[in-house]
Amino acid sequence: MQDVARVCAVLALTWSVFAAAAKRMPANIRATGGAQTELVSQLLVVALLLGVVAAVVQSMVLTMRLASAAVDLTNGYPGTSTLRYGFGTAGLWSLLLLCAACVVSAASTGDRRLWTCQLWSAILLACWACLLTPEFRASPAGGFERTGNTLLLPVALSAALALAVWSEKRIGRCRVPRIDPGPPDSGCLSGAASSGLTVSATIIAAAVALLGCYHLAVPVAAIPGGFRAGALIIMGSLATTAVACFLLLRRGWSDSLCDTAMGLTSLGFGALATAAVPAEPASLAERYPMMFNAMIIGLAFATGMWAHLAFDWQPQSNGASAEGIRVSAPRARRFAFLSAALALVLGAAMAVWPRWPGIAAMDDSLGRVAAGSAGNLFLLLVLLWSSRRVHRLTFQILTVLSVISAAGFLTIRMLPFTPQFG
Protein backbone atom coordinates (compact mmCIF):
# COMPACT_ATOMS: atom_id res chain seq x y z
CA MET A 1 0.00 0.00 0.00
CA GLN A 2 2.83 2.39 0.77
CA ASP A 3 4.44 1.65 -2.61
CA VAL A 4 1.19 2.47 -4.39
CA ALA A 5 0.81 5.73 -2.47
CA ARG A 6 4.42 6.72 -3.10
CA VAL A 7 4.26 6.04 -6.85
CA CYS A 8 0.96 7.95 -7.18
CA ALA A 9 2.37 10.90 -5.22
CA VAL A 10 5.51 11.01 -7.39
CA LEU A 11 3.44 10.93 -10.57
CA ALA A 12 1.05 13.59 -9.23
CA LEU A 13 3.96 15.91 -8.51
CA THR A 14 5.49 15.16 -11.92
CA TRP A 15 2.32 15.99 -13.86
CA SER A 16 1.76 19.09 -11.72
CA VAL A 17 5.23 20.33 -12.64
CA PHE A 18 4.58 19.56 -16.33
CA ALA A 19 1.29 21.49 -16.17
CA ALA A 20 3.00 24.49 -14.56
CA ALA A 21 5.76 24.36 -17.18
CA ALA A 22 3.27 24.10 -20.05
CA LYS A 23 1.34 27.05 -18.72
CA ARG A 24 4.47 29.22 -18.61
CA MET A 25 5.89 27.99 -21.92
CA PRO A 26 7.64 30.73 -23.97
CA ALA A 27 5.46 32.35 -26.61
CA ASN A 28 7.68 31.34 -29.53
CA ILE A 29 7.35 27.59 -28.90
CA ARG A 30 3.96 27.09 -27.28
CA ALA A 31 0.84 26.01 -29.18
CA THR A 32 -2.28 28.03 -29.77
CA GLY A 33 -4.19 29.31 -26.76
CA GLY A 34 -6.95 26.69 -26.93
CA ALA A 35 -4.56 23.78 -27.34
CA GLN A 36 -2.39 25.02 -24.49
CA THR A 37 -5.38 25.39 -22.18
CA GLU A 38 -6.57 21.87 -23.04
CA LEU A 39 -3.11 20.41 -22.43
CA VAL A 40 -2.79 22.10 -19.04
CA SER A 41 -6.28 20.99 -18.04
CA GLN A 42 -5.56 17.36 -18.95
CA LEU A 43 -2.28 17.37 -17.05
CA LEU A 44 -3.97 18.80 -13.96
CA VAL A 45 -6.79 16.26 -14.13
CA VAL A 46 -4.29 13.38 -14.25
CA ALA A 47 -2.33 14.89 -11.36
CA LEU A 48 -5.53 15.33 -9.35
CA LEU A 49 -6.63 11.72 -9.90
CA LEU A 50 -3.23 10.36 -8.87
CA GLY A 51 -3.19 12.63 -5.83
CA VAL A 52 -6.63 11.42 -4.79
CA VAL A 53 -5.48 7.79 -5.00
CA ALA A 54 -2.44 8.53 -2.83
CA ALA A 55 -4.56 10.46 -0.31
CA VAL A 56 -7.18 7.70 -0.08
CA VAL A 57 -4.55 5.02 0.54
CA GLN A 58 -2.81 7.06 3.24
CA SER A 59 -6.13 8.01 4.80
CA MET A 60 -7.06 4.35 5.15
CA VAL A 61 -3.76 3.53 6.84
CA LEU A 62 -4.02 6.57 9.10
CA THR A 63 -7.58 5.67 10.08
CA MET A 64 -6.46 2.20 11.15
CA ARG A 65 -3.63 3.75 13.16
CA LEU A 66 -6.06 6.12 14.86
CA ALA A 67 -8.38 3.24 15.73
CA SER A 68 -5.46 1.27 17.14
CA ALA A 69 -4.34 4.26 19.23
CA ALA A 70 -7.88 4.74 20.56
CA VAL A 71 -8.06 1.07 21.58
CA ASP A 72 -4.66 1.30 23.29
CA LEU A 73 -5.65 4.41 25.22
CA THR A 74 -8.89 2.74 26.30
CA ASN A 75 -7.10 -0.41 27.46
CA GLY A 76 -4.28 1.47 29.19
CA TYR A 77 -1.42 -0.42 27.54
CA PRO A 78 0.12 -0.45 24.04
CA GLY A 79 -0.82 -3.02 21.45
CA THR A 80 1.45 -4.74 18.92
CA SER A 81 -0.57 -4.43 15.71
CA THR A 82 0.37 -0.91 14.65
CA LEU A 83 3.04 -2.01 12.14
CA ARG A 84 1.09 -4.75 10.37
CA TYR A 85 -0.53 -2.49 7.79
CA GLY A 86 2.44 -0.41 6.68
CA PHE A 87 2.29 2.50 9.09
CA GLY A 88 5.76 3.96 9.56
CA THR A 89 8.14 6.76 8.69
CA ALA A 90 8.13 5.76 5.00
CA GLY A 91 4.60 7.12 4.66
CA LEU A 92 5.83 10.65 5.35
CA TRP A 93 7.58 10.77 1.97
CA SER A 94 4.43 10.16 -0.05
CA LEU A 95 2.56 12.78 1.98
CA LEU A 96 5.37 15.30 1.51
CA LEU A 97 5.27 14.69 -2.25
CA LEU A 98 1.49 15.06 -2.19
CA CYS A 99 1.78 18.42 -0.40
CA ALA A 100 4.34 19.57 -2.95
CA ALA A 101 2.03 18.58 -5.82
CA CYS A 102 -0.83 20.59 -4.28
CA VAL A 103 1.41 23.65 -3.83
CA VAL A 104 2.65 23.52 -7.43
CA SER A 105 -0.85 23.09 -8.86
CA ALA A 106 -2.38 25.80 -6.67
CA ALA A 107 0.42 28.26 -7.42
CA SER A 108 0.20 27.68 -11.18
CA THR A 109 -3.61 27.91 -11.46
CA GLY A 110 -4.57 30.21 -8.59
CA ASP A 111 -7.56 27.98 -7.78
CA ARG A 112 -8.48 28.25 -4.11
CA ARG A 113 -9.98 24.77 -4.11
CA LEU A 114 -6.46 23.41 -4.53
CA TRP A 115 -5.39 25.32 -1.42
CA THR A 116 -8.11 23.40 0.43
CA CYS A 117 -6.57 20.19 -0.92
CA GLN A 118 -3.23 21.45 0.34
CA LEU A 119 -4.76 21.95 3.80
CA TRP A 120 -5.96 18.35 3.97
CA SER A 121 -2.62 17.07 2.70
CA ALA A 122 -0.95 19.02 5.50
CA ILE A 123 -3.46 17.61 8.00
CA LEU A 124 -2.65 14.05 6.88
CA LEU A 125 1.06 14.78 7.13
CA ALA A 126 0.75 16.33 10.60
CA CYS A 127 -1.41 13.49 11.96
CA TRP A 128 0.91 10.88 10.49
CA ALA A 129 3.97 12.50 12.07
CA CYS A 130 2.26 12.86 15.47
CA LEU A 131 1.07 9.26 15.54
CA LEU A 132 4.58 7.96 14.89
CA THR A 133 5.37 8.75 18.53
CA PRO A 134 4.25 6.16 21.13
CA GLU A 135 1.35 6.85 23.46
CA PHE A 136 2.84 4.76 26.28
CA ARG A 137 6.23 4.09 27.80
CA ALA A 138 7.47 1.58 30.34
CA SER A 139 7.14 2.75 33.93
CA PRO A 140 9.69 2.01 36.69
CA ALA A 141 7.09 -0.19 38.39
CA GLY A 142 7.03 -2.55 35.42
CA GLY A 143 3.80 -1.40 33.80
CA PHE A 144 2.99 1.31 31.29
CA GLU A 145 2.28 5.01 31.65
CA ARG A 146 1.02 7.59 29.19
CA THR A 147 3.35 9.98 27.46
CA GLY A 148 2.60 13.54 26.53
CA ASN A 149 2.85 12.79 22.81
CA THR A 150 -0.92 12.79 22.37
CA LEU A 151 -0.84 16.54 23.00
CA LEU A 152 0.99 16.97 19.70
CA LEU A 153 -2.12 16.12 17.67
CA PRO A 154 -4.35 19.09 18.68
CA VAL A 155 -1.33 21.40 18.43
CA ALA A 156 -0.60 20.20 14.89
CA LEU A 157 -4.23 20.50 13.78
CA SER A 158 -4.62 24.02 15.16
CA ALA A 159 -1.31 25.16 13.64
CA ALA A 160 -2.22 23.70 10.23
CA LEU A 161 -5.61 25.42 10.25
CA ALA A 162 -4.16 28.78 11.31
CA LEU A 163 -1.51 28.56 8.60
CA ALA A 164 -4.12 27.64 5.98
CA VAL A 165 -6.36 30.58 6.91
CA TRP A 166 -3.42 32.96 6.71
CA SER A 167 -2.01 31.58 3.46
CA GLU A 168 -5.42 31.38 1.77
CA LYS A 169 -5.84 35.09 2.34
CA ARG A 170 -2.26 36.18 1.56
CA ILE A 171 -1.14 33.71 -1.09
CA GLY A 172 -4.36 32.18 -2.39
CA ARG A 173 -5.44 35.24 -4.34
CA CYS A 174 -5.72 34.85 -8.07
CA ARG A 175 -2.46 35.99 -9.54
CA VAL A 176 -3.01 33.84 -12.65
CA PRO A 177 -6.32 33.77 -14.58
CA ARG A 178 -8.40 30.67 -14.10
CA ILE A 179 -8.32 28.04 -16.85
CA ASP A 180 -12.07 27.62 -16.92
CA PRO A 181 -14.67 29.75 -15.17
CA GLY A 182 -16.43 28.06 -12.31
CA PRO A 183 -19.05 28.98 -9.71
CA PRO A 184 -18.58 32.36 -8.03
CA ASP A 185 -17.53 30.75 -4.74
CA SER A 186 -14.89 28.50 -6.29
CA GLY A 187 -12.58 31.08 -7.81
CA CYS A 188 -10.48 33.89 -6.44
CA LEU A 189 -12.70 36.72 -7.53
CA SER A 190 -12.78 38.53 -4.20
CA GLY A 191 -11.43 38.41 -0.66
CA ALA A 192 -14.15 36.00 0.47
CA ALA A 193 -13.07 32.60 1.74
CA SER A 194 -13.85 29.55 -0.37
CA SER A 195 -16.66 27.28 0.75
CA GLY A 196 -14.31 24.29 0.82
CA LEU A 197 -12.03 25.98 3.31
CA THR A 198 -14.99 26.95 5.49
CA VAL A 199 -16.31 23.39 5.64
CA SER A 200 -12.80 22.03 6.23
CA ALA A 201 -12.19 24.53 9.03
CA THR A 202 -15.43 23.44 10.71
CA ILE A 203 -14.41 19.78 10.62
CA ILE A 204 -10.89 20.46 11.88
CA ALA A 205 -12.15 22.76 14.64
CA ALA A 206 -14.61 20.09 15.79
CA ALA A 207 -11.75 17.56 15.90
CA VAL A 208 -9.64 19.97 17.99
CA ALA A 209 -12.60 20.45 20.35
CA LEU A 210 -12.99 16.68 20.81
CA LEU A 211 -9.27 16.25 21.45
CA GLY A 212 -9.37 19.14 23.90
CA CYS A 213 -12.27 17.56 25.80
CA TYR A 214 -10.41 14.26 25.98
CA HIS A 215 -7.21 15.80 27.34
CA LEU A 216 -9.14 17.86 29.87
CA ALA A 217 -11.05 14.78 31.04
CA VAL A 218 -7.90 12.60 31.11
CA PRO A 219 -5.07 15.02 31.98
CA VAL A 220 -1.47 14.25 31.07
CA ALA A 221 1.39 14.93 33.49
CA ALA A 222 4.18 13.05 31.68
CA ILE A 223 5.67 16.23 30.18
CA PRO A 224 7.93 18.97 31.60
CA GLY A 225 5.65 21.23 33.60
CA GLY A 226 3.20 18.51 34.63
CA PHE A 227 -0.57 18.92 34.48
CA ARG A 228 -0.42 22.69 34.18
CA ALA A 229 1.71 22.56 31.04
CA GLY A 230 -0.70 20.09 29.46
CA ALA A 231 -3.69 22.33 30.26
CA LEU A 232 -1.89 25.38 28.82
CA ILE A 233 -1.06 23.48 25.64
CA ILE A 234 -4.69 22.49 25.19
CA MET A 235 -5.81 26.05 25.91
CA GLY A 236 -3.36 27.38 23.31
CA SER A 237 -4.63 24.92 20.70
CA LEU A 238 -8.26 25.79 21.40
CA ALA A 239 -7.54 29.53 21.33
CA THR A 240 -5.55 29.31 18.09
CA THR A 241 -8.30 27.33 16.39
CA ALA A 242 -11.02 29.69 17.62
CA VAL A 243 -9.13 32.77 16.40
CA ALA A 244 -8.59 31.17 12.99
CA CYS A 245 -12.31 30.37 12.75
CA PHE A 246 -13.34 33.90 13.71
CA LEU A 247 -10.93 35.36 11.14
CA LEU A 248 -12.44 33.07 8.53
CA LEU A 249 -15.93 34.19 9.52
CA ARG A 250 -15.00 37.77 8.70
CA ARG A 251 -14.56 36.71 5.06
CA GLY A 252 -17.64 34.53 4.77
CA TRP A 253 -20.44 33.67 7.21
CA SER A 254 -21.14 30.08 8.24
CA ASP A 255 -23.51 29.09 11.04
CA SER A 256 -21.75 25.81 11.78
CA LEU A 257 -18.32 27.44 11.81
CA CYS A 258 -19.56 30.18 14.15
CA ASP A 259 -21.06 27.63 16.55
CA THR A 260 -17.84 25.64 16.56
CA ALA A 261 -15.73 28.75 17.19
CA MET A 262 -17.92 29.86 20.08
CA GLY A 263 -17.80 26.37 21.58
CA LEU A 264 -14.02 26.38 21.34
CA THR A 265 -13.96 29.74 23.12
CA SER A 266 -16.03 28.45 26.05
CA LEU A 267 -13.91 25.31 26.25
CA GLY A 268 -10.75 27.42 26.14
CA PHE A 269 -11.84 29.36 29.25
CA GLY A 270 -12.32 26.05 31.05
CA ALA A 271 -8.89 24.82 29.97
CA LEU A 272 -7.28 28.06 31.15
CA ALA A 273 -8.93 27.66 34.55
CA THR A 274 -7.67 24.07 34.93
CA ALA A 275 -4.12 25.37 34.46
CA ALA A 276 -4.49 27.04 37.87
CA VAL A 277 -5.08 23.70 39.63
CA PRO A 278 -2.10 22.82 41.88
CA ALA A 279 0.33 20.18 40.63
CA GLU A 280 -0.25 18.07 43.74
CA PRO A 281 -1.85 15.70 44.50
CA ALA A 282 -0.99 13.63 41.45
CA SER A 283 -3.74 11.06 42.07
CA LEU A 284 -6.61 11.59 39.63
CA ALA A 285 -9.16 10.56 42.27
CA GLU A 286 -8.10 13.58 44.33
CA ARG A 287 -7.52 15.90 41.36
CA TYR A 288 -10.86 15.47 39.64
CA PRO A 289 -12.89 17.55 42.17
CA MET A 290 -10.31 20.32 41.85
CA MET A 291 -10.53 20.13 38.06
CA PHE A 292 -14.33 20.22 38.22
CA ASN A 293 -14.13 23.32 40.38
CA ALA A 294 -11.74 25.04 37.96
CA MET A 295 -13.92 24.15 34.97
CA ILE A 296 -16.96 25.57 36.77
CA ILE A 297 -15.17 28.90 37.22
CA GLY A 298 -13.99 28.97 33.60
CA LEU A 299 -17.41 28.11 32.19
CA ALA A 300 -19.08 30.61 34.50
CA PHE A 301 -16.82 33.29 33.08
CA ALA A 302 -17.76 32.17 29.56
CA THR A 303 -21.45 32.31 30.54
CA GLY A 304 -21.10 35.90 31.70
CA MET A 305 -19.21 36.88 28.57
CA TRP A 306 -21.81 35.41 26.20
CA ALA A 307 -24.67 36.91 28.22
CA HIS A 308 -23.04 40.32 28.05
CA LEU A 309 -22.52 40.02 24.29
CA ALA A 310 -26.10 38.83 23.82
CA PHE A 311 -27.29 42.00 25.55
CA ASP A 312 -24.96 44.25 23.53
CA TRP A 313 -25.84 42.53 20.24
CA GLN A 314 -29.57 43.06 20.62
CA PRO A 315 -31.13 44.86 17.63
CA GLN A 316 -31.75 48.54 18.20
CA SER A 317 -35.29 49.83 18.56
CA ASN A 318 -35.09 51.69 15.24
CA GLY A 319 -34.53 48.41 13.37
CA ALA A 320 -31.29 49.58 11.77
CA SER A 321 -29.15 46.72 13.03
CA ALA A 322 -27.16 44.59 10.64
CA GLU A 323 -28.00 41.02 9.73
CA GLY A 324 -24.95 39.70 11.57
CA ILE A 325 -26.12 41.39 14.79
CA ARG A 326 -29.59 39.89 14.52
CA VAL A 327 -28.11 36.43 14.01
CA SER A 328 -25.44 36.67 16.70
CA ALA A 329 -27.59 37.81 19.65
CA PRO A 330 -29.67 34.61 19.98
CA ARG A 331 -26.59 32.54 19.28
CA ALA A 332 -24.75 34.22 22.17
CA ARG A 333 -27.72 33.55 24.48
CA ARG A 334 -27.70 29.92 23.43
CA PHE A 335 -24.02 29.50 24.21
CA ALA A 336 -24.42 31.30 27.52
CA PHE A 337 -27.09 28.73 28.41
CA LEU A 338 -24.96 25.80 27.22
CA SER A 339 -21.91 26.98 29.18
CA ALA A 340 -23.98 27.43 32.32
CA ALA A 341 -25.64 24.03 31.91
CA LEU A 342 -22.27 22.32 31.49
CA ALA A 343 -20.97 24.14 34.58
CA LEU A 344 -23.95 22.84 36.55
CA VAL A 345 -23.29 19.29 35.37
CA LEU A 346 -19.71 19.59 36.58
CA GLY A 347 -20.98 21.10 39.83
CA ALA A 348 -23.22 18.08 40.38
CA ALA A 349 -20.30 15.74 39.63
CA MET A 350 -18.09 17.61 42.11
CA ALA A 351 -20.83 17.51 44.76
CA VAL A 352 -21.38 13.73 44.64
CA TRP A 353 -17.76 12.79 43.88
CA PRO A 354 -16.98 11.34 47.37
CA ARG A 355 -20.07 9.13 47.10
CA TRP A 356 -19.18 7.59 43.77
CA PRO A 357 -18.35 3.84 43.92
CA GLY A 358 -14.62 3.17 44.09
CA ILE A 359 -13.69 6.71 45.21
CA ALA A 360 -11.84 6.75 48.54
CA ALA A 361 -11.01 10.48 48.60
CA MET A 362 -13.52 12.30 50.81
CA ASP A 363 -12.58 15.74 49.46
CA ASP A 364 -13.62 17.32 52.77
CA SER A 365 -10.56 19.36 53.75
CA LEU A 366 -11.06 22.97 54.75
CA GLY A 367 -9.31 24.25 51.64
CA ARG A 368 -11.37 22.11 49.31
CA VAL A 369 -14.66 23.06 50.97
CA ALA A 370 -13.74 26.74 50.73
CA ALA A 371 -12.64 26.44 47.09
CA GLY A 372 -15.72 24.46 46.09
CA SER A 373 -18.04 26.88 47.85
CA ALA A 374 -16.31 29.80 46.12
CA GLY A 375 -16.72 28.15 42.72
CA ASN A 376 -20.42 27.49 43.30
CA LEU A 377 -20.93 31.02 44.62
CA PHE A 378 -19.24 32.53 41.58
CA LEU A 379 -21.45 30.48 39.26
CA LEU A 380 -24.55 31.57 41.21
CA LEU A 381 -23.61 35.25 40.98
CA VAL A 382 -22.94 34.96 37.25
CA LEU A 383 -26.29 33.27 36.68
CA LEU A 384 -28.10 35.95 38.69
CA TRP A 385 -26.41 38.66 36.65
CA SER A 386 -27.08 36.83 33.37
CA SER A 387 -30.75 36.39 34.24
CA ARG A 388 -31.12 40.13 34.59
CA ARG A 389 -29.32 40.72 31.28
CA VAL A 390 -31.11 38.27 29.01
CA HIS A 391 -34.51 38.04 30.80
CA ARG A 392 -35.06 34.35 30.09
CA LEU A 393 -36.86 31.80 32.25
CA THR A 394 -34.24 29.19 31.45
CA PHE A 395 -31.55 31.22 33.22
CA GLN A 396 -33.77 31.59 36.27
CA ILE A 397 -34.19 27.81 36.36
CA LEU A 398 -30.42 27.39 36.10
CA THR A 399 -30.01 29.79 39.01
CA VAL A 400 -32.26 27.64 41.20
CA LEU A 401 -30.34 24.52 40.16
CA SER A 402 -27.09 26.28 41.05
CA VAL A 403 -28.36 26.87 44.59
CA ILE A 404 -29.31 23.18 44.86
CA SER A 405 -25.88 22.10 43.59
CA ALA A 406 -24.09 24.32 46.12
CA ALA A 407 -26.28 23.00 48.93
CA GLY A 408 -25.58 19.42 47.87
CA PHE A 409 -21.85 20.08 47.82
CA LEU A 410 -21.87 21.38 51.40
CA THR A 411 -24.24 18.68 52.66
CA ILE A 412 -22.19 15.77 51.35
CA ARG A 413 -18.99 17.25 52.79
CA MET A 414 -20.64 17.71 56.18
CA LEU A 415 -22.05 14.17 56.45
CA PRO A 416 -18.87 12.64 57.97
CA PHE A 417 -18.99 15.24 60.76
CA THR A 418 -22.67 14.91 61.70
CA PRO A 419 -21.98 12.61 64.72
CA GLN A 420 -19.95 15.42 66.27
CA PHE A 421 -23.01 17.67 66.27
CA GLY A 422 -25.08 15.21 68.31
pLDDT tens, 361-387? 788 888 889 999 999 999 999 999 999
SS3 333: helix
CA–CA gap between residue 321 and residue 196 (Å, rounded): 30
Band of pLDDT at residue 391, cut at 50, 70 and 90: confident
Band of pLDDT at residue 325, cut at 50, 70 and 90: very low
Torsion sign over Cα 401, 407, 412, 415? negative
Distances (CA, A) of 183 to 195, 231, 253, 302: 11, 43, 18, 39
pTM of the predicted structure, to 2 decimals: 0.86
Q: Which residue type occupies 189?
A: L
In which region does residue 293 sit, left (phi positive, over 0), alpha (psi from -120 to 50) or beta (all else)?
Answer: alpha
**Cα angle 371, 224, 268; round to 5:** 50
Identify which of 190-204, 215-229, 330-344 has the greatest average pLDDT.
330-344
Band of pLDDT at residue 81, cut at 50, 70 and 90: low
| pLDDT computed for residue 192 by the predictor | 60
CA–CA gap between residue 365 and residue 370 (Å, rounded): 9
Checking if the pLDDT of 87 tops 90, the result is no
More confident residue, 56 or 175: 56
Checking if the pLDDT of 39 tops 80, the result is no
Question: Which residues, 6 or more positions from 306, have their beta carbon under 8 angstroms from its beta carbon?
Answer: 262, 266, 332, 333, 335, 336, 339
pLDDT tens, 66-77? 988 888 888 888
Return the DSSP state at 193.
P
pLDDT tens, 235-253? 999 999 999 999 998 888 8
More confident residue, 158 or 392: 158
| pLDDT computed for residue 237 by the predictor | 96
| pLDDT computed for residue 355 by the predictor | 87
More confident residue, 2 or 129: 129
pLDDT tens, 91-136? 899 999 999 999 898 888 877 788 888 899 999 999 999 999 888 8
- Other C-beta atoms closer than 10 Å to the C-beta of 42 total 13
Q: Where are the alpha helices (DSSP H) in 252-322?
A: 255-274, 284-312
| pLDDT computed for residue 193 by the predictor | 63
Residues 255-265 have a mean pLDDT of 93
CA–CA gap between residue 247 and residue 163 (Å, rounded): 12
- 119 close to 193: Cβ distance less than 8 angstroms: no
Q: Where are the alpha helices (DSSP H) in 24-151?
A: 33-75, 91-109, 112-131
Residues 323-334 have a mean pLDDT of 68
Right CATH for 281-422 from 1.10.540, 3.30.230, 1.20.1050, 2.40.128: 1.20.1050
Distances (CA, A) of 365 to 289, 370, 413: 12, 9, 9
More confident residue, 133 or 143: 133
pLDDT tens, 7-37? 999 999 999 998 888 877 654 444 555 566 7
- 270 close to 302: Cβ distance less than 8 angstroms: yes
- 125 close to 134: Cβ distance less than 8 angstroms: no
Domain locations in the chain as residue ranges: 1-134, 146-172+193-279, 281-422
- Other C-beta atoms closer than 10 Å to the C-beta of 73 total 16
CB environment 82-102: b (16+ within 10 A), e (fewer): beeebbeeebeebbebbbbbb
